């Protein structure tokens, strides 16, 4: 009898910041694969609020209870990193039809160019409106984002916003 190959998936993103929607996809995705690698990348087209290593550390804190999930940082092409870690699948969360339209094209390109399949998981309804970009905007303008991010990330987000807005502007943390 031959031993079944371990099915490794990768969930890539900038996670700047990680949201409860990301966590929903990660937790549900962890049950679909033998191992799930949360791959924290840097997107040259985006200005990061939180440093890549700090983002990875936050995610490790949040996901410490999932034994088959590990967090890695990477730069460069996502498909190159997938090959490097032995992932045959890229996991992506879909919130709406706009996400699907964009992710569909990327998935086809990844399969054609690198032979990597993509598995889509629909986000839970309560997270369909959240995005890292909107959370950053709300936090930078002093709004309450505590219901949209894990508690471990909130302090990091608020500290980063304070650094970017300067000492004269104060953000209010509400519990």
3-state helix, strand, coil in the chain (%, to 5): 45, 20, 40
Higher pLDDT, 4 or 121: 121
Sign of CA dihedral 50, 55, 57, 58: positive
Distances (CA, A) of 48 to 14, 38, 108, 156: 8, 17, 27, 13
Cβ-contact 139, 19 below 8 angstroms: no
**Structural domains for the chain:** 8-165 (3.40.50.620)
Mean pLDDT of 13-28: 96
Mean pLDDT of 126-133: 90
| Average confidence (pLDDT) over 140-155 | 94
Average pLDDT, the chain: 90
Is the predicted pLDDT of residue 162 greater than 90, yes or no?
Answer: no
Active site residues: 22, 46, 95, 132
Helices (H), 31-73: 52-62
Q: Measured between alpha carbons, how far is 19 from 154 in angstroms, rounded to an integer?
A: 10
Return the pLDDT at 165.
62
| pLDDT, position 102 | 93
């Amino acid at each position: 009898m031959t031993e079944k190959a371990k099915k490794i998936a990768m969930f890539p993103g900038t996670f700047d910041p990680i949201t409860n929607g990301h966590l929903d996809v990660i937790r549900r995705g962890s049950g679909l694969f033998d191992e799930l690698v949360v791959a924290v990348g840097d997107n040259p087209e985006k200005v990061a609020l939180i440093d890549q290593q700090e983002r990875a550390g936050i995610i490790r804190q949040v996901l410490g209870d999932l034994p088959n999930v590990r967090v890695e940082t990477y730069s460069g092409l996502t498909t190159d990193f997938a090959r490097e870690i032995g992932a045959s699948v890229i996991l992506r969360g879909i919130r709406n039809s706009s996400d699907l339209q964009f992710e569909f094209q990327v998935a086809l390109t990844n399969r054609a160019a690198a032979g990597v399949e993509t598995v889509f998981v629909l986000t839970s309804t309560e997270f369909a409106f959240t995005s890292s970009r909107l959370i950053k905007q709300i936090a930078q303008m002093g709004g309450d984002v505590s219901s949209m991010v894990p508690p471990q990330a909130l302090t990091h987000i608020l500290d980063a916003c304070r650094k970017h807005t300067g000492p004269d502007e104060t953000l209010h943390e509400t519990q």
